[in-house]
Amino acid sequence: MEKLTRRQQEIMDFILSFMEKEGYPPTRAEIARHFGFRSPNAAESHLRALDRKGAIRLEAGRSRGLTPLVARRNQQALPLVGRVAAGSPVLAVSNVEREVPVDPTLFSPRPDYLLRVKGSSMKNAGIFDGDLIAVHKTPIVRQGGMAVVRIDDEVTVKYLYKYRNRVELLPDNPDFEPIVVYPQDHEIHVEGVAVGVLRTGMVRSE
């Protein structure tokens, strides 16, 4: 990334701070209002300069269509994976909704991405529909650990138990049954271990 001017760095810091608080990027009008610009066009000019220097990625036709490519000091920008397309890797570009600034010291080991949870099968573990799971990418998960697992083209978060001839994925909600997978019948991959959760209200969608 090219070096930013003082004003560009100030705008970059505002964008990241805004996203940390609100969970989505600011509009051109919000940037202009914060810095006292006469019109959103001045903010647009600065954003285009940040895009050229590799600090952000602009998306045409969206009022909040910008993605930071850098993080604040002591933070990292983690890709947020939403709906995973059938047959595609979890971290495929098409599955990533946006980048989310996160303080990596909140989790151990450090997460590689965030995964949006669907359903309530882990609600007794304090994980609810729409929450974000911080995931450390690894194929190794301890017995009974909370894992992100792909079964064929489906991705799920469950407690993982491996046995000689099968894998059992246990929910944390009595309304759901365990999932028993036999490797000879299904393709199964451990994508990573869940190292923490962000409440829906902490990181809101646009």
Residue 158 falls in the annotated catalytic set: yes
- Residues 172 and 157: their CA atoms lie apart, in Å, by 10
pLDDT of amino acid 73: 58
Q: Which DSSP category does 125 fall into? A: G
169 forms beta bridges with 160, 179
pLDDT of amino acid 16: 85
Spell out the alpha helix ranges (H) of the chain. 6-22, 28-35, 40-52
Structural domains in the chain, sorted by start: 6-68 (1.10.10.10), 76-198 (2.10.109.10)
- Residues 100 and 148: their CA atoms lie apart, in Å, by 19
- Residues 1 and 180: their CA atoms lie apart, in Å, by 47
190 forms beta bridges with 149
Residue partners of 166: CB distance under 8 A and separation at least 6: 180, 181, 182, 183
pLDDT of amino acid 200: 55
pLDDT of amino acid 146: 95
CA 35 to chain centre: 29
- Point out the catalytic residue in the list 39, 158, 162, 205: 158
> What would the two tokens of residue 50 be?
């940040």
pLDDT of amino acid 100: 81
- Point out the catalytic residue in the list 120, 121, 123, 137: 121
pTM: 0.62
pLDDT of amino acid 64: 86
pLDDT of amino acid 36: 95
pLDDT of amino acid 202: 47
pLDDT of amino acid 63: 79
pLDDT of amino acid 78: 85
* Collapsed DSSP state (helix, strand, coil) of residue 100: strand
CA dist 62 → 23, 28, 45, 99 (Å): 16, 10, 16, 16
Contact in structure between 173 and 122 (CB atoms under 8 Å)? yes
Q: Average pLDDT of each block of 10 consecutive residues along the chain (206 residues)? A: 86 87 88 94 94 87 81 72 69 79 77 90 90 91 94 90 95 94 91 85 43
CA 147 to chain centre: 16
Q: How large is the greatest C-alpha to C-alpha distance in the chain, in angstroms?
A: 68
Residue 121 falls in the annotated catalytic set: yes
